[in-house]
Each structure stands twice: as structure tokens, then as C-alpha cells.
Chain A
Amino acid sequence: MKLSRRCFLSFVVGGAAGTALSPLPWKLTDDLSIWSQNWSWTPVPPDGEYTQVNSTCTLCPGGCGIGIRKAGKRAVKIEGLAGHPVNDGGVCLLGLSGLQLLYGPARVKTPLKRTGKRGGGQWQAISWKQAIKEVTEKLKELRKKNQPQSLASIGPNGSGTVSALISRFMKAYGSSNDMKMASKLDSDEQALFLTQGIQNGMVGADVENADFILSFGCAVLDGYGSPVRMFRANSRWKENSATLIQIEPRQSNTAAKADQWLPINPGGEADLALAMANIIIKENLYNSSFVSDNCDGLNSFVQMLYENYMPEDAARRIGIDVQTIIDLAHRFATAARPLAINGYGKGQNPSNLKETLAIHALNALVGNIGKKGGITGLSAYDYIRWPKVVTDTVAAAGLKESRLDGAGTNAFPHAKSLPNRFFDKLSAGNTSIQALLVAEANPCYSMPDTAKIKRVFDSIPFIVSFSSFMDETAMMADLILPNHTFLERYEDVPVKAGLTAPIVGLCRPAVEPQWDTLDLGDALIRIAQSIGGSVGAAFPWKNYKTCLKQTLADQWKDLEKKGYWMPSQSLQADADSKNKAGGKSGRYVLMDGTLETIYMAQDAPLEGDSRSYSMLLMPYDTIRITSLQIGAPPFVMKTVPDTVLKGQDGFIEINKKEATEMGFKQGQAVIVTTPIGEARVRVHLSSGLAPGVIAMPRGLGHTAYDDYLAGKGVNINQLIGPVEDPASGLDTALGIRAKLAKA
């Protein structure tokens, strides 16, 4: 038998037929398809019992109730808590992406000690014992030299125990240089004191029940106040056919979705509000019974308006015509439940005090104080009632030294903390600060003129950061004592973000700490106790949880069960008693000597001269990019449109016509230069911006964190400098002069 080619072929054909008649190909196809679903890099949800932990989100001041779904030990989803008084089931993009912060690569996983050059990113992992020891030794040394005042702290602007523990530590240690990051809440607080005599209070705005909302630049749909609550309010306005008027130079998301967008010249808010007040009073459209019963200083207010804020003059300054102002004043004054809200963008930066007062005055004129659909002055949270700190002689002497920032002095009697002035002083050569503690703040990124801030950091001999993430400020530290993230720790969250009633949420651990981190409260308690003496005695608690439990005393059980506590009655009663003490019970001051000075003062000029810098650069806020101490996680960054960020390139918005005249095409690279710095960006031609104004988002251009965030776009704080509001001492820069040139 010869093995012919035909035989071979028939063998192959037979083999093929046999294979087809066997289960092999069919089974193999099935198996391969399943195999392709199980590649090792395909993420697979963990198995395990499904549970849910209810907590409070602390990623922004919003205070939303969240439910963290878990499978076994792993957190797998964050949802808004239905029925929660702040967000009733809603959640924002950042809250939703919180798990990426927990499990992401930017975490500081163990205490770190700097080994290389400052900012060089070289670290040595150390134990907690050593970390606490190193901090303690340094701090003891300063006290030994009788220089406790050379320790400064920068912390979150909160009313809860974390912020209070830092302040308590500073006090017991003997330094008044206890800085808190500033925001719109600071300017609101000062305005509230000046108009209603409420100390350390907060302004609640009943946005849900208003039917004519005048938003002076507030990013209602982009993260203003308590963001989810504002989304819901906006839906409610739509349902109830309420009117939203958005007043701001740029056609923001909110402007685009408002019933009317009123583009005004940057910084024209106070002028507009006061010109409207002028018209409302002149035409007798104000709520005369409310004003005569409750307001002080109407006559001098009117006189000031007639002298300085005549609609024609204001219109010229604002850049809109008089008739528009008159119409707006009519519509506002005759609406059933009008409401004016203030604070540019998300309200993460303080507002000019004049502007804040002017907008509040509009509400007062229409009798909108303490009413449904109006604004209410709420007094401070005061559930923290720790025994008074007993200072030793070193601390007492240190506390006699005045604060570097001048807050609380004659110049700024109502300010609690002025971090901008603190850094200005240090930058101007003051070398009195020898050590700095930074917690839950990222000043090296989020304060204007970052280069200056970094220089200041460089000049401080000893810096401790308590950051959970390797952020820009942690990068400048000598020691990092990483805090747990919000999903791993307890914290009380007293919400201040414009709610009409006080509410304290409970943030509690949803998962075990993923790394070798320690609660900030525990770290402070340990440091204080190891310094010992009167400092240690001021921290008598076993740990932070005990401190929290004792502080909340009777409320703790409820808080644990419900997740939040609404201390309304007690606070209101307190507020009233405080009002009486201030002699201003239930009254609203439209005008007095202090307010007059503020209204009559010239606005602080923008930095830079208009000849060399012909344009005005403004920051804008968007919910798609986080801009406070939390860097945007990857899910959030994915939502940024490519007219804002493309690859690594950030965009600057410019008026379309003007750009064409300047010879710029969409996407073209340009150099933006300001008196502070310069950066390479691409242009985005927009018809929603007046000529002469250019705008960039806050929150891009990180140099720290991880590959998902670092190096993307430009940090606008690199280009903008602080502008101090003479009335409040706060930095209220609305922008900076700038110019553009082809790259």
C-alpha cells in the first residue's frame, strides 16, 4: 500500500468530519468564550455577604448622607441615602467616586519621613511610634525655648470636633496662629454679625421654597453650597415654574440652564444689587411693614444709595442697560417669594463683604429674613462643650503674642482667620514660624499664587502634614502622619452649607483601614499626651472615638442609629438669646457706621496694570472637577469635556470674536501671562464670554496625587494672586489681569 496524497487528503477530510461530529469544536468554542471573560485583569466584584453602612460624605461641605454597599469586606458602591434631609437619595459625581479615593494609588500608606530635598518626593516609611516621637520632640523643643507661638496650624474651616481639636491643641500648646482655610462661609459669617448680630453664625437660604431666585454668580448646578441639595432645588424650581436668573460674566452651566442669563462685568455684583435696592426703595416696592418693624438704618441706607448707587452710574459700571436693572428690580420686588443668593462659583472662596451685604440687603428689603423662601441667620453649632483649656505659663505667654494674620484685631475685628494674610506676612520675610501642622487642607495647591505659598513652605523649618493623600502640601512636608479617609473613620459633620436648619451628620467607618493610617483626632491626642503637662491634660480622652462619643453625649445613640441629628430648637433658642445679648434681637441692620465704611470703600483694584495686561482672567467652577483639598478621582476626570482638558492640555475660554481678531483658532496653544506667572494652554473659543475676559477652571494642574490627576491642565492658582478685601481682610480676588500670546 502506498500512502498517496489522496489517502492523506481523505484522512484529513475524515478527521475534519469526525471532529465536527464530536463535541470538541462546540465545547471548545463555549469554553473559549468563557475563558475570555475571565482574564486575570478583568475586574471582578468580590464575593461575600452584601451589607450597607450608612455614613456622611465629607468630600465637600455639602454633608450628604451616603450608604456604602459592601460585598464581604470590600466597599463596592456609594449611594445617596433616601430620606436624608440634605440629599434625599441623591449623590454627586465626587461622592459616587469616593471608593477610588479609598482604594486609589494616591494614598499615603504609612507614616513617612522626608529623606531627600524638600518637595523631592523621597520618603522613608516609619512607624507611628517614631512619627509621634519625632513630632513631639520638635514641639517640645519649641516650648522649651519659650516659643510656642512659632507653631502654626492650617486646618479645615469646620465646626466639628476635628477642627476644634486642632484649635484646642494650638491653645494648650500656646500659639494663636491657628489658621483655618477661608471660604464664602467666612464672608457670610461676618455679614451676618454686622447685620443681625449673630456671632460665628451661618446663613441658611430656603432655596426650595423660593419662586424667583436671583443668583449672583452662584454655581447652582456646579457645586454651590450643598451641591446635591441645589440640584434638587433646581428640579423643584422647574416643577413649580419658579424663575432662576443667573448673574455672572460667563455663560456657565447654571447660566445656560437658567431662565435668564444676565452677563455683567466681572465684579459688578455689589453695584447691581445696590442699584436694584435703590430702585426698589425709590419706587416704594419694598416690604415697608417688615422694614419699618425690623430694620435699622433705612434712611442712611437710602441716602448712601442715592449718593453712590444711582442705576445709571451702576449700569455703566456693570455693563448692562438701566432698563434691565429696573425690570429686574421690579420683578424681584413683586415676586411672591423672591430670594437673592450670593457667593461666586461653588462658594469655596470668600466673597467681597460689600457684595455680600448688598445682596443680603436685597433680601431684607423684600422682607425675606427668617421667612419661608428667605434667608435665615443661624447661630453657631455649640454642642462641643469641652472643659476650658488650662494653660501653663509657657502657653499663656505664647498666647499673648498676636496672630500673624491680624484676625480679630482692630483692623479685622470680625475675622476669625485670614490665611491669605498669614502667608503674605511670611512671604514678606517674617520668620517667626518654626513649625507648621497642616490637616485636611492643601494650601500649596488651592491658595492663590502657589509659587509664593510653596516658597513660604520652603522657609518653614518643620512641617507636618496629616493628609490621607500625597497632595501638593504633603509633598512639602517633613513628616506625613496619614489620616484615615472618610470611609475609614468617625467624624461629626456639622453642615454649614446654606441649609435652613442645623444638621450634624455622622461619618463612620465603612471598611477597616486599608493601610497603616491613624485618625487625625487620635494622632493629635497622642501627640498632646506625649508632650504631656498641661498640653496632655487638655486631651484627657483615651482616643478620638471616646472624645466624639462624650462630646455628643445624649445624641450619640441617635446619631449612630439615624446617621444624623438635627439640633434645631436648642440652637434657635441659643441664637435668640445671643441676639438679645447683642442688643439686636430679631433686627436687621441695613446701615450703621461700620456698614457705611464698607459700602463707601473703593473695591480693591485687580492686580496688574491694564496697559500691559489687557484682559481679565477669571477662574470658574465646575462640578466635573473638584477644587478643594480632595483631588478629583479618575471617574470624575473622565467626565471633563475635551474643550476643558484634552490629554494633558488645559484650555482657556476666550470670546470667539475676540479670539478670531487675535488670530487664534480653536485648540491653538497660547501662553497666558499674568503678573504672577505664565502657563501654556489651548484656547477654547466661546460665545458665552464677554470680550476682554478669559476663564479657566479651578481644580486642574495638580503636580501631586497620582498619574490619573497629576500634570493634567494648569492650576489657575499659579496665575492668580490674592486680593485682600479691606473690609474683611479675606482674599476675595475675582481674577487677575492677563494677556495672551501665541505659544
Chain B
Amino acid sequence: MSGNVEHKSDDVNHDAKEASSADQTSMTTSGSGSYILLFFLLGLALSMVAGWVVFPKLLYTQKKQPLDFNHKLHLKEVDSDCASCHFFREDGTFSGVPALEQCLDCHYEKLGESVEETLFVEQYVDKGRQVPWLVYSRQPDCVFFSHSAHIYGANLECRTCHGDIGHSESLKPYEENRITGYSKNIWGSNIAGLKQATWDRMKMDDCAQCHETAGIHDSSVQTGRDACFVCHK
């Protein structure tokens, strides 16, 4: 402890000296000031790089989907677009990512010779295991979302929120937020949270923004307003 104290008093002395010399030559003053500015800028720059570049890199980890999936190919084969596999159940609830049972409707036996198909049949179909898909749009459990209200009620298209995934030929890597465990697609790929397309982000503000622009102010059954209870039951 005492060492520290001494060291501090040294600093004070040193500052005092510097201050007194500043009175003598203006040269020295401007030199010292520019250093300070330099260090300020250095700190600013480094932290900006850390915040804008390094942090997002560190925040997400890339995960591979258990299988690759060709949406485009499947879309060509089915009759009712997205709803062929992502359908509404009789009670109005949304089935979400298909369970193995649905895949089996067609893939009860191997279709074709692709590597992915072989993997799928051997690892999942034959073993009766569900494919542990990583869902890009998965929301926390505190979020209540009705697909039915948005598709049938508001006539939204799937792509409004999910983008053009239906035409992709392969699944992009799943970037998992190391802290929350959710996909990068929720916050959006822009770390500043800026977006261009409606499907670039899936945060609460995005829901609110859309409700706001569409002039929806009464969508909560409980409160008759458009506040917390709409999504957080």
C-alpha cells in the first residue's frame, strides 16, 4: 500500500513540474496537449473497432445445421407453397418447423442419392429421431406469437418476416449468440440494429414498428390496447 501512495505522490510532483514548465514555454504546452488528444483518439478508435468489429465477431459462434436443406427444390415439388410443410393445424396453431413425421410423408424411403438425403435417411428416418434443426426465427418463451393472426388476419406473406428463405438452395450457417443462445437473425446482421428489409430483424421494436405503421392499436384481447399484453401473456 505504502508503495502505491509514494508512487501517487511522485505523480503529483511530476504533474506539478509539468504545469510549472508549461508556464515557461508554449512549445511544451501544445506538445503535451496533442499527446492527450492523440491518446483520446487512440482510445476512441480502438474501442470503436472493438465495439463495431471485434465484439460482433466474438458474440456469435457459427453452427452448422444438422442437415443441409434445399428450400427451392422442395418448393418445386409441393403443391401449396410454404404451407405444404409449414402448415396450420386444425385448431389454428402453426406447426412451425416440420417434425420428422411430416418429412416421412414423402421420405418414407430414400429419394435420390445425394449425400444429405443419405445422411437424413440413415441418421434420422431409420432411427426415428427428430432432426434437431436450428431455427433462425426462434423467439424467447416469453413471446407469444400467433402465425394465424398475421397470415390470415393481416394477410402478411411469409417473406415479410422470414425473407426469401423459400428460394434458397442451401441453409446458411446458424450464427448463435453466445450469451442468449438465439440466432443472429433476431437482432439482425447489422450490429447497429439497422435494417433495410422488413425481414432483416425480428426484435420487439420491429413488431411494434409494423403494428404502428399499420395503425393497429387494439390487438390485445385482454387490454384492448396494443401494449405489452399483445405478445407477453
- The interface of chain A, by Cβ under 8 A from chain B, is 1, 4-8, 10-19, 21-24, 27-28, 30-32, 34-35, 37-38, 44-45, 47, 49-50
- Decide: A31 and B48 in contact? CB cutoff 8 A: no
Q: Which residue from chain B places its CB closest to the CB of A5 in the assembled complex?
A: B11
Q: How far is the CA of A16 from the CA of B99 in the complex (A)?
A: 48
Q: Which of B15, B44, B50 contacts A5 (CB 8 A)?
A: B15
Q: How far is the CA of A447 from the CA of B56 in the complex (A)?
A: 67
Q: How far is the CA of A27 from the CA of B186 in the complex (A)?
A: 12
Q: Which of B43, B50, B51, B91 contacts A13 (CB 8 A)?
A: B43
- Decide: A35 and B180 in contact? CB cutoff 8 A: yes
State whether the Cβ of B76 lies closer than 8 Å to any Cβ in chain A.
no
Number of interface residues of B (CB under 8 A): 43
- Decide: A22 and B182 in contact? CB cutoff 8 A: no
State whether the Cβ of B140 lies closer than 8 Å to any Cβ in chain A.
yes
- Decide: B36 and A24 in contact? CB cutoff 8 A: no
Chain B CB within 10 Å — which of A6, A22, A37 has the most? A22
Min distance, Cβ A21 to any Cβ of chain B, angstroms: 6
- Decide: A11 and B42 in contact? CB cutoff 8 A: yes
Min distance, Cβ B175 to any Cβ of chain A, angstroms: 13
- Decide: B179 and A15 in contact? CB cutoff 8 A: no
Residue numbers in B under 8 Å from A27 (CB-CB): 55, 59, 187, 191, 193
Given contacts A5-B15, A23-B51, whether A14 and B181 have CB atoms under 8 Å apart is no
Q: Which residue from chain B places its CB closest to the CB of A44 in the assembled complex?
A: B141
Given contacts A27-B191, A44-B141, whether A10 and B39 have CB atoms under 8 Å apart is yes
Beyond the given A18-B51, A23-B55, A23-B192, please list 17 additional residue pairs across the A-B interface where CB-CB is below 8 A.
A5-B11, A8-B39, A10-B39, A10-B40, A11-B40, A12-B43, A14-B42, A14-B43, A16-B43, A19-B51, A22-B47, A22-B48, A27-B55, A34-B179, A37-B140, A38-B180, A45-B141
Given contacts A27-B59, A37-B140, whether A10 and B51 have CB atoms under 8 Å apart is no
- Decide: A7 and B15 in contact? CB cutoff 8 A: no
- The interface of chain B, by Cβ under 8 A from chain A, is 11, 14-15, 18, 32, 35-48, 50-52, 55-56, 59, 89, 91, 93, 95-96, 99, 140-142, 177, 179-182, 187, 191-193
Interface of A is mostly: helix
- Decide: A18 and B47 in contact? CB cutoff 8 A: yes
- Decide: A4 and B47 in contact? CB cutoff 8 A: no
Residue numbers in B under 8 Å from A6 (CB-CB): 15, 32, 35-36
Q: How far is the CA of A90 from the CA of B15 in the complex (A)?
A: 80
Q: How far is the CA of A370 from the CA of B178 in the complex (A)?
A: 71
Q: Which of B43, B95, B192 contacts A10 (CB 8 A)?
A: B43
Residue numbers in B under 8 Å from A12 (CB-CB): 43
Q: Which of A7, A35, A47 contacts B179 (CB 8 A)?
A: A35
Min distance, Cβ B85 to any Cβ of chain A, angstroms: 14
Residue numbers in B under 8 Å from A8 (CB-CB): 39
9 shortest interchain CB distances as A-B pairs: A22-B51, A14-B43, A18-B47, A15-B43, A24-B51, A14-B40, A14-B44, A18-B44, A11-B43
Q: How far is the CA of A41 from the CA of B201 in the complex (A)?
A: 29
Q: Which of B52, B89, B179 contacts A23 (CB 8 A)?
A: B52
Q: How far is the CA of A13 from the CA of B38 in the complex (A)?
A: 12
Q: How far is the CA of A22 from the CA of B14 in the complex (A)?
A: 35
Q: How far is the CA of A14 from the CA of B35 in the complex (A)?
A: 13
Report 20 cross-chain contacts, Cβ distance below 8 Å, ordered by A residue.
Answer: A5-B14, A12-B43, A13-B43, A14-B44, A14-B47, A15-B46, A17-B44, A18-B44, A18-B51, A19-B50, A23-B191, A23-B193, A24-B51, A24-B55, A28-B179, A34-B140, A34-B180, A35-B179, A47-B96, A50-B89
- Decide: B36 and A7 in contact? CB cutoff 8 A: yes
